[in-house]
Structure 1
Amino acid sequence: MSASSPESESTVAPPRRGLMRSGLVVSAMTMLSRVMGLVRDVVVAMLLGAGDGADAFFVAFKIPNFLRRLFAEGAFNQAFVPVLSEYSSGRDRREVRALLDAVAGSLTAILALVTALAMLAAPWLIWVFAPGFGREPEKLAMTADMLRLTFPYLLLISLTAFSGSVLNTWSRFAVPAFTPVLLNLSLIGAALFLMPLMQEPAMALAWGVLIAGVAQLAFQVPFLYRLGLLPTPWPNFAHEGVRRILKLMVPALFGVSVSQINLLLDTILASLLAAGSVSWLYYSDRLVELPLGVFGVAIATVILPALSRRHAEQSGAHFAAMLDWALRIVLLVGLPAALALAVLAEPLLITLFHYGAMTDNDIQMAAMSLRAYAFGLVAFMLIKVLAPGFFARQDTKTPVKVGIVAMVANMVFNLILIWPLAHAGLALATALSAFLNAGLLGYLLHKQGVLVFQSGWGRFALQLVGGSVLMSVALYWAAPEWHRWLAFGLWQRVGSVLGLVALGGGIYAAWLLLLGLRPRHLRMQA
């Protein structure tokens, strides 16, 4: 990597833009990524269904993907962005460049070692993450072979996340938000073109993951170069900024990624249940990830750098107003999205996945876990916007305490609910622990005087709840009974879903407008 660039002498301070505008940019790019992700899952479901090959790939991909969310987009991002924001606000370009060089080099060194060890220990990792596979030696061996291909993705995507954090700090949100599209395109291409060439079709998807990691990192490099922020990686663990980031990362591993750890626990326990349980949870989780990623993660992405700058400037009132704004935005989207997913669970799953090897029973089983996950969608979103309230102030100890409580609660809920509800009990346990997590985070922020509720919450609650209830009732009465969807053709399914979405969205928007909510009420300056 070269350190030079056309903008190497430009000002280091990032520009400031409206949070709503930035959030819409991230949402649009993320929506494109999620749509392509659904197309990817439709292709995979059609070609692999919910059998052993699909289960093996989902576990082999979930391990590095889980660690990506835990380290790269979780603990690292939440520790790195506040420190980088502080450097960019109060130090010169030379110091910022030295920080980027040291962080990039140190991150590469650590993850290269972890990747090499994981590839050597692949079978043992499968035993840890999916112990039920140990009962089937062939399935275990196939999953281990896939993991050796997918695990280097952690190194590549972590460097991509590093690049994305820099671009987000400089308000270049579109590029990092678009980057995941390349993963989906790679997997779709692997499924369509490599799968017919493979003795084990699912192995083609593992190659697709590796190819995607290279493509995503390469895509962001030119944009860093144009900003004059392309680092020359060189490990330097003695650098003051690196030491601070590492110190913040250790507790942040739990604080920001509890929901991902809970999902992983679901996979471990699901591997002990009936064949297909891992896949049912995966397909239902994918649908919940659509609104969570498009709106919850988008808002969290844009507020973290903004909150970090406000904390560095000691602007407490604006900090509190940003958090309040973020809560309203995610509730405005999260509650109706959760209700719509619950009401339309089978129609959505049939439209997206009921092709090829996917059976009617798979749809029914996935719908059970989808409704359980949908119950927790609002809590998942709230965690995304409440956690930055701590990390922006470089407080990682409080979220870790909350995270440990939520993890223990999730384990207890799992043990209670897995017996009567099987895989759906695992999803419900994750949702319940998410509410506990979000509730504790909100309570502590409010107790510390950081989260201060602004005026207008009573009227907002009437707008939100009334519109969501009206929308849900309309969808329930308008949607055909789910068995009828099985006889629909592809375009009839797609048209019916789009019609229901338009109906529900129209009723919800009309109610909000009727009660006085206007676009200007949703704006917030960074």
Structure 2
Amino acid sequence: MSRRTTIGTAALVVSGGIVLSRILGLLRDLLIANLLGATSAGDIYFAAFFIPDLLFYLMAGGYMTITFIPILSRYFVDDDDEGAWSSFAAVVRPVVLVMTALTFATIIFARPLVDLLFVQLSDWLPVSESAKRLTGGQLAEVASLTRVVAPAQLFFLLGSLLMAVQYAKRKFLIPALAPLVYNLSIIAGGLISWAAGDPSPAGFVWGALAGAVLGNFALQIYGARRAGLRWMPATPWRHPSLWEYAVLALPLMLGQSIAVLDEQFVRLFGQWAGEGSITQLGLARRLNMLPVGMIAQAAGVAAYPFLARLFAEGKHTELAATLRKALQYAVFAGAAATAAVLAATQPAVKVVFERGEFTAAATVGTAAALVPYAFSIPVWGAHQLYARGFYARREMWVPVITGTIGTLVGVGLYIWLFDVLGTPGMALASTLAMTLYTVLMATVWYLRTGTGELVPFIQSIGRSVFAGGLAAAAGWRVVSWVTGDIVDSGFWRSLGSLAVGALVVGAVFVGTAKLLRAPELDGLRRAKPVTAEDGQ
């Protein structure tokens, strides 16, 4: 593909897929809230993913694509496709063997693992005596559903490697379809269980397994083959790429960052606040991750192959400049999203979730958690890009060490802030831990690459925070006036307040940005793509 292909073009494809995926994810969560509610059934559904997802992260599954792209990129830069395909075979074989063994172990030992993590671990931690626990019957159901979803992780890992092939070839469309198929399958599973007269967590969990097989594996095989992938069975087991991959991935396996464990902390520690608290925290976090996915994830996924290639070509100055531009846009858009969420937290939760088994009390609890989560949106944007900057430079240890520090601090914050603030305290702990992680990572970045790009980025942060603060305050006042008593306000009144609030937040944010002559606004309005040449 021509070098004229830009990060902006890639981001358009990726963000389009992410927007559709997040919409489907919202529909999925709406259905879960409607059929299961903020009850023990909802808690069981979220808890069932804890151990399988933990295995995925321990295998560095969340980083597998990121780790593998630089290896493939080196071969593609040298026009050595055959070498890249041998590299793929060398890595995929041991990954399949290890993950298959871990999957069988999880299925066999599901119940003792559930007891260890949800009961004994909480007993060891210095948690308040008021903290609750899942009951024996609930733990048994969590273990049963854990066995169902455990095999999905193997297909997620294989899908990550297949996506790496496509990203390295600058093919973004089919990887963007994976989460769409996954969410559609979960929705289908829930609807089938509802139609059968048993709207239980099991239907959603079986749908998740089907979605992993279809979207993250079968579809990605097709996409990778279209990108040119060929299986090389004669590849030696002692291939140099396997060692290179192990060196890059091992730090990610040993160190677990708050970015990947944050959702697991919700599932593990959320039980402390009592029945429905895991669901409330989980839904608040997912609602918050809607703009995070559209802004941060799209920017990070689209930018990374270009950053990796710039590093492979030795263009370090262009890499730093390109990253800085992407950071400015991500934080600017993230500040606008934070303002929108803060302005209409309770109406948003009410409109999206409050129906069926999801009560008004659950709306209040979920909205209370969403407020501190909202401040993390621009932080996630910066995190995604700084991390990918280090991954492109093959300095995996920096996100690992700083992320592990964030995790250790995060556990302490979860315990302390739960005692002080309850459920919202755990959401605040998440935001503070992510902020610490990102600040530490940024500090190391500028120490290693120089501070030449730091001043314009700090100025951009100041503009974004100022515009976002004014927009949030104005939007909140208008939404409060429209809704009155939010608990008693109906669906349509809440929906109207969302529409009015969005207009006010948008107008104030854009107006303030214009007064500040924010270059980020001009760039977004022109939809100017960020290219390597822009960084020169």
TM-score above 0.5: yes
1:193 pairs with 2:199: no
Letter in 2 for 1:107: V
Alpha carbons 1:198, 1:204 under 8 Å: kept: no
1:307 pairs with 2:307: yes
Alignment CA distance shift 1:434-1:233 (3 Å): farther
* Counterparts of 1:238 and 1:339, CA distance in 2: 52
Shift in Å, 1:457: 4.6
- Partner of residue 370, structure 1: 370
Deviation string, structure 1 residues 449-496 (Cα, Å, up to 9, x no partner): 256416745764564234323321331122146564555555554454
- Partner of residue 49, structure 1: 37
- Partner of residue 170, structure 1: 169
Shift in Å, 1:511: 3.8
**More deviation, 263-272/441-450:** 263-272
DSSP 3-state at the match of 2:272:
coil
DSSP 3-state at the match of 2:32:
helix
1:87 pairs with 2:88: no
Alpha carbons 1:342, 1:371 under 8 Å: kept: yes
Alignment CA distance shift 1:172-1:147 (3 Å): same
- Partner of residue 101, structure 1: 89
Alpha carbons 1:273, 1:422 under 8 Å: kept: yes
Shift in Å, 1:228: 1.5
**More deviation, 470-479/36-45:** 470-479
**More deviation, 275-284/369-378:** 369-378
Shift in Å, 1:134: 6.9
* Counterparts of 2:166 and 2:316, CA distance in 1: 25
Shift in Å, 1:39: 0.7
Letter in 1 for 2:289: E
Alpha carbons 2:45, 2:201 under 8 Å: kept: yes
Deviation string, structure 1 residues 327-372 (Cα, Å, up to 9, x no partner): 1021111112123222311111101111111122211111121112
Deviation string, structure 1 residues 377-414 (Cα, Å, up to 9, x no partner): 22222211111121111112222221222122112222
Q: 1:64 aligned to 52, 63, 67, which one?
A: 52
* Counterparts of 2:518 and 2:420, CA distance in 1: 45
Alpha carbons 1:74, 1:257 under 8 Å: kept: no
Alignment CA distance shift 1:378-1:256 (3 Å): farther
Shift in Å, 1:61: 2.3
Alignment CA distance shift 1:243-1:408 (3 Å): same
DSSP 3-state at the match of 1:145:
helix
TM-score normalized by the length of structure 2: 0.89
Shift in Å, 1:276: 1.1
Structure 1 residues 421-440: aligned runs within 5 Å: 421-440=421-440
Shift in Å, 1:154: 0.5
* Counterparts of 2:150 and 2:322, CA distance in 1: 37
Letter in 2 for 1:238: R
Alignment CA distance shift 1:74-1:236 (3 Å): farther
Structure 1 residues 301-450: aligned runs within 5 Å: 301-449=301-449
Shift in Å, 1:164: 1.4
DSSP 3-state at the match of 2:9:
helix
Alpha carbons 1:82, 1:308 under 8 Å: kept: yes
Alignment CA distance shift 1:430-1:282 (3 Å): same
**More deviation, 431-440/61-70:** 61-70
Alpha carbons 1:72, 1:157 under 8 Å: kept: no
* Counterparts of 2:198 and 2:85, CA distance in 1: 48
* Counterparts of 2:459 and 2:500, CA distance in 1: 30
RMSD after superposition: 2.6
Q: 2:20 aligned to 2, 27, 32, which one?
A: 32
Letter in 2 for 1:143: V
* Counterparts of 1:483 and 1:142, CA distance in 2: 41
Structure 1 residues 492-507: aligned runs within 5 Å: 493-507=494-508
- In the alignment, structure 1 segments of 5+ residues that lack a partner are 1-12
Alignment CA distance shift 1:213-1:361 (3 Å): same
TM-score normalized by the length of structure 1: 0.90
Identity, % of aligned positions: 25
* Counterparts of 1:487 and 1:472, CA distance in 2: 23
**Size of the alignment, in residue pairs?**
514
- In the alignment, structure 2 segments of 5+ residues that lack a partner are 123-131
* Counterparts of 2:237 and 2:450, CA distance in 1: 32
Alpha carbons 1:50, 1:362 under 8 Å: kept: yes
- Partner of residue 523, structure 1: 529
Deviation string, structure 1 residues 57-90 (Cα, Å, up to 9, x no partner): 1111243345445646523223211111112212
Alignment CA distance shift 1:463-1:269 (3 Å): closer
**More deviation, 189-198/156-165:** 189-198
